[in-house]
Amino acid sequence: MRSTIARDPYGHGSTAPRPRERDYREVALPGAQAVVVYYVSAPAALTITAVRLISL
């Protein structure tokens, strides 16, 4: 997650499944065989909180 999501939390093929919540994201991590659901918060420093990790 550090090499993908942390560098660009809104990129890497992530989607916002809830139309009015841009910071609620889902992404399938290549090579990890997992889907990560996470929130992005950046008031003073970027914080990414994984709320669900789904193994495929």
Taking only Cα atoms into account, the Rg of the chain, rounded to an integer number of angstroms, comes to: 11
**pLDDT tens for residues 4-39?**
777 888 888 889 988 898 888 888 877 777 788 888
Range of the domain at 40: 1-56
Three-state SS for 22-37 is CCEEEEEECCCCEEEE
**For the chain, what is the domain count?**
1
**DSSP string across the chain:** -TTTTTT-TT-TT-B-SSTT-TTEEEEEETTTTEEEEEEEE-SSS-EEEEEEEEE-
pLDDT at 16: 92
pTM of the model: 0.70
